[in-house]
Structure 1
């Protein structure tokens, strides 16, 4: 069952518009989460907002938002005042421009959503916008207000819908030069490069998200199960990678290990293939028919490689 939409509004391209819904494309529901408990009583704890001067709990109707302008100095804003800041993107995603997808740096991608038409009457206009983008092989850029913040958003055709991915602002993405400028540029020998590309070639595959299971979560669930059933807890100490003394030697040993793994995989698959082929090899040949000269319909069926029908057998 699809989750409830967390935003409803309009998708607009110039003078064309249609009602749409925005759904979260990801979920953290299945993640292991913990509650804070009192160690002695086992009761679940609640967080309270306390005034640090009076040390008293502050009720929700006495809480108000404030923007700090100086030390211990705030501009207070009421909820209705914040809600009054309504701009166009609060209810409308206006596609302002279109760009090739590969021009958008991956570090600017934030949160993905699924965008769908809201109702049958919206489907035609939605499909026109979607297919036009698909035909031009571009993505659309607009803005949307989510959780009281306006965010840039990228719209990309996907199947019968659109994937809408919020983007980070330029000031939110740090410059890579700040981290990469001190990295040296050592010369890489052709031999080492050949060995490394050979290892990459052996590990080439296609992306399958199901291949990467959440091993940390699985280990947590095993720990919880062991505690629940009063079983001994296994303490795993992951081995740390050793320091590479000789890069060339490490590359050569990596290739040797990859080859050994490949042979082991083939050996594991071989018995399965032999087992599957065994019944066919041991199958006994069919007994010859009593009549060495079957009539025409039976002979024709056998020449064609099909089994004669029961009627044909009876006729012979």
Structure 2
């Protein structure tokens, strides 16, 4: 395996069980690492854990959990006491139920992992569970204890393995009512909606994550590299500051929509767009017809 497993245990469906490992599906190792330093010396700052009352440093072996039962009233919990309440899900993901994947609200999805069989003996049982789920088009729901907390996990076939996504609990999800209830319904005309639909059609492409980059991260790296090659104190970077996009002199929503269409047409005329564009659903509309008349005349002349 390319990385070390974050969790090892067993996957169980009724009496069928197999040894599995949970591996992170996402990584942040490529991000630029920044630390807090002393401006005067340039040295990293070391943080000390101290007692909130005595201000004395606390050694690692004396640091334990304290659960708050009332304001400033903490109940100490020792590590061996936590071991005594270990649940079955500490070592086993028991698939308790199945559901259709689209039944799971996207807000509940937290963090994805890959779940793979850990040894040759477990591969057959693992494949049976995976292929049965794939055949039925179902996702499994179970629990596991990871990072000192029991989490709900959604399991679905993914290639030769399973994609295990940690789910949030219901009490972690905020209701949208408080944010949307006071929003005005708004008034849209057929013409406005038609122009907006045309904008959507023109910008519809096959999803390609490689087309998106963290531009802020890139700018930060360029800034760091520039300062690293010019370490003179107080010297400013030579990079040009990005200007915010100009809003133009738009006076109405309708005008903004029309200008957006004109801008998209100009971009298309200037050169072919990158990415595969999905076919427009409004190809028979008047607006799409205007865009294809010229091409039709050229075809007739060529014939």
TM-score between both structures, scaled by the size of structure 2: 0.84
Residues 227 and 233, structure 1, Cα contact 8 Å, conserved in 2:
no
Q: Offset of 1:243 from its aligned partner?
A: 8.3
**Quick one: which of 222, 240, 244 aligns to 1:238?**
244
Deviations 1:21-52 (A, max 9, x none): 10000011111121111222222111101123
Whole-angstrom CA distance in 2 between matches of 1:242 and 1:16: 64
Quick one: structure 1 residues 246 and 32, their matched pair in 2 at CA, closer, same or farther if it must change by over 3 Å? same
CA deviation digits over 1:128-152, x for unaligned, max 9?
1111111111111111111110011
CA-CA distance at 1:234 after TM superposition: 2.8
1:255-314: CA deviation from partner (whole Å, max 9, x where unpaired):
00000000111499xxxxxxxxxxxxxxxxxxxxxxxxxxxxxxxxxxxxxxxxxxxxxx
Count matched residues.
268
RMSD: 1.7
C-alpha separation between the residues in 1 aligned to 2:263 and 2:249? 18
Alignment of 1:121-270 (within 5 A): 121-230=121-230, 232-239=238-245, 241=247, 245-266=251-272
- Change over 3 Å in CA distance of 1:144–1:240 after alignment to 2: farther
CA 65–187 in structure 1, closer or farther in 2 if over 3 Å, else same: same
1:281 aligns with: none
What is the CA-CA distance between 1:15 and the residue it aligns to? 1.0
Give, in whole Å, the separation in 1 of the partners of 2:212 and 2:132.
35
Which deviates more, 137-146 or 77-86? 77-86
Q: Distance in 2 between matches of 1:198 and 1:87?
A: 55
Stretches of structure 2 that go unaligned for 5 or more consecutive residues are 231-236, 275-303
Task: Measure, in 1, the Cα distance between the counterparts of 2:111 and 2:65.
Answer: 26
1: CA distance, partners of 2:192 / 2:184: 18
Query: Separation in 2 of the partners of 1:219 and 1:35?
Result: 17
Distance verdict in 2 for CA 1:240–1:168, change over 3 Å:
farther
Give the C-alpha shift of residue 238 in structure 1. 2.1
Comparing 183-192 with 209-218, greater Cα deviation is found at 183-192
**Offset of 1:224 from its aligned partner?**
0.7
Change (3 A) 1:18 1:55: same
Query: Residues of 2 paired with 1:66 and 1:216: CA distance?
Result: 39
Stretch deviating more after TM superposition (218-227 or 237-246): 237-246
C-alpha separation in 2, matches of 1:243 and 1:71: 55
Aligned to 2:50, the other structure's residue is in SS state coil
Q: TM-score, normalised by structure 1?
A: 0.81
Runs of 5+ unmatched residues, structure 1: 269-316
Greater length-normalized contact order (CA 8 Å, ≥ 6 residues apart) = 2
Shift in alpha-carbon separation, 1:267–1:128, aligned structure 2, 3 A: closer
Alpha-carbon distance in 2 for matches of 1:132, 1:51:
55
Distance 2:129 2:69 in 1: 44
Aligned pairs for 1:58-73 within 5 A: 58-73=58-73
Instruction: Note if contact 1:9-1:21 (Cα within 8 Å) is conserved in structure 2.
Output: yes
> Structure 1 residues 228-237 or 169-178, which shifts more?
228-237
Q: Secondary structure at the match of 1:54?
A: coil
SS at structure 2 position matched to 1:188: coil
Task: Determine which structure has more spread, i.e. the larger CA radius of gyration.
Answer: 1
Shift of 1:244: 5.4
